[in-house]
Chains A and B, each alone.
Chain A
């Protein structure tokens, strides 16, 4: 599996996958990690402690602060896996030290909601 590494790290956890992009400022509660946008398919679910698999971040540039706040509040995902890197997610993860990688569409399709995986950027793989 070929990964483009944006922020390094090694984590093990459960995938939470959505096909919908995420507007972090508008859709995620920065204290709890709960998605509060009723139009999002993960409405009322929390992104805390999961490996968040989603296409990319959208909307406000302040979404980067939401990601940083999630980390400071202990409600951040363990890692993020996207198909495209937007600058808010990339910079938010860089500052918060949340491992983040970009994968191809094919690899994205092979990651299933609820599966346990291990992401290791040093070894360059997802197991």
Chain B
């Protein structure tokens, strides 16, 4: 990879340890993806905020880094471990709260926007098409590449952080003008819902390279689209999908009922949950509105945790949605999300009902609880009175 004189000097350590570290990460990821050079980016979205995911090593790393590091471009951050306004409600231990606060403070010291969201594309104004950004959260990287036509690779927590500090990313893979994907998934399942799309994404992610064509999908509502992005980001390295027929040189693979059943059997481990979670990705305003209208005159028989960004919760409160949802038995949580939440653990919970494929994978493997997968309309039918 070709570096400018300034970049060379930074990597030698002549501009301090922080920049040396950041450029060391960018050179490694640049070499890994055969980048020719580094290019400026306008927005970084960083993951690695939840103490449950990054642990003591991550917390100490960020604490040290924040003594000197400042972000150079607009930087938004992923969810943390709990809802800042309701932390006392959940019986988290003092140690967890202290470490999580320290992580939050480190990021804020570096100058990030304290967004604590995995759906930055739904709550911030988007730059114009083809703008280079650096998104770590996988569902967000896939969403902005595929739907918003921005340019990012499927970044890691460290590569996005290094981009935030330097304002640059390696120019490679999805950042360049793309060739046609070499794989087309033919969607064959009829009457799909958001769970079907999550499984389609998970299936595609397993076999696709950095991008994939998907044929047979005419319309994709926001909930289904986010579910597809979340599923895809979990199972592979794919960072972009195109809804198109796919070129004649592109290999064709069907996604039919059999393939769907295999994914379902891999992730669904129980027939019922003790509680319900809606999130992973967090819900946007439109989804909260839909949920409110579906719940008219009904209420959940079990605990139902609904995750959304703080700014969405504030808007929803003004519209009276939060009050209605709480009346129907929902707990509205912000700043955090389903994935690796410390609010759900196997000591208290055997199984969780969710419509999220991404949530299912991490609940099962990281939280160690059983998962009952159902689409939202089915959850409402079965679990309300």
Give the interface of A toward B (CB within 8 A).
4-7, 21, 23, 25-27, 30-31, 36-37, 39, 56-66, 68-69, 71-73, 84-88, 90-95, 102
Interface residues of B in 359-377 (CB under 8 A from A): 361-362, 365-366, 368
Shortest C-beta distance, A67 to chain B (Å), equals: 9
Does A61 lie within 8 Å of B160, measured CB to CB?
yes
B74 CB within 8 Å of chain A: no
Does B28 lie within 8 Å of A91, measured CB to CB?
yes
Does B234 lie within 8 Å of A91, measured CB to CB?
no
Measured between beta carbons, the chain A residues less than 8 angstroms from B53 are 25, 60, 62, 65-66
Does A68 lie within 8 Å of B57, measured CB to CB?
yes
Bound-state CA distance A62–B164 (Å) is 16
Query: Could you pull out 20 A-B pairs where Cβ atoms are within 8 angstroms?
Result: A5-B31, A25-B366, A26-B362, A36-B368, A56-B237, A58-B205, A59-B361, A61-B136, A62-B47, A64-B48, A64-B156, A64-B158, A65-B55, A72-B60, A84-B237, A85-B29, A87-B156, A87-B159, A90-B156, A95-B21
Identify which of B31, B158, B361 contacts A4 (C-beta below 8 A). Answer: B31
Does A65 lie within 8 Å of B362, measured CB to CB?
no
**A61-B47, A65-B48, A94-B24 are known contacts. Are A87 and B234 too (CB-CB below 8 A)?**
no
Bound-state CA distance A63–B156 (Å) is 8
B83 CB within 8 Å of chain A: no
B75 CB within 8 Å of chain A: no
Interface residues of B in 183-231 (CB under 8 A from A): 205
0 or 1 for each of B51-63: is its CB under 8 Å from A? (1 = yes):
0011111101100
Bound-state CA distance A87–B237 (Å) is 9
Chain A interface helix/strand/loop/mixed: mixed
B266 CB within 8 Å of chain A: yes
B25 CB within 8 Å of chain A: yes
B66 CB within 8 Å of chain A: no
Give the interface of B toward A (CB within 8 A).
21, 24-25, 27-29, 31-33, 47-48, 50, 53-58, 60-61, 136-138, 141, 153-160, 162, 205, 233-237, 266, 340, 361-362, 365-366, 368
Measured between beta carbons, the chain A residues less than 8 angstroms from B138 are 59-61
Bound-state CA distance A25–B50 (Å) is 12
Closest to B46 in A: A61
Does A36 lie within 8 Å of B365, measured CB to CB?
yes
Does B156 lie within 8 Å of A59, measured CB to CB?
no
Does A91 lie within 8 Å of B162, measured CB to CB?
yes
Identify which of A30, A65, A91 contacts B29 (C-beta below 8 A). Answer: A91
Closest to A25 in B: B53
The tally of CB-CB contacts under 8 A between chains A and B is 144
Bound-state CA distance A83–B244 (Å) is 29
Q: Which of B29, B156, B361 is packed against the most chain A CB atoms within 10 Å?
A: B156
Does B28 lie within 8 Å of A90, measured CB to CB?
yes
Measured between beta carbons, the chain A residues less than 8 angstroms from B57 are 30, 65, 68-69, 71-73
Bound-state CA distance A84–B366 (Å) is 25
Does B28 lie within 8 Å of A61, measured CB to CB?
no
Closest to A56 in B: B237
Does A69 lie within 8 Å of B158, measured CB to CB?
no
Bound-state CA distance A94–B28 (Å) is 6
Bound-state CA distance A71–B60 (Å) is 13
Measured between beta carbons, the chain B residues less than 8 angstroms from A5 are 31
Shortest C-beta distance, A40 to chain B (Å), equals: 9
Does A61 lie within 8 Å of B32, measured CB to CB?
no
Measured between beta carbons, the chain B residues less than 8 angstroms from A85 are 29, 31-33
Shortest C-beta distance, A71 to chain B (Å), equals: 8
Bound-state CA distance A62–B140 (Å) is 14
Identify which of A6, A26, A68 contacts B28 (C-beta below 8 A). Answer: A6
Q: Which of A57, A60, A68, A102 is packed against the most chain B CB atoms within 10 Å?
A: A60
Identify which of B33, B47, B162, B235 contacts A58 (C-beta below 8 A). Answer: B235
Does B365 lie within 8 Å of A26, measured CB to CB?
yes
Task: Give the top 5 A-B pairs by smallest Cβ distance, nearest first.
Answer: A85-B32, A94-B28, A72-B57, A90-B32, A91-B158
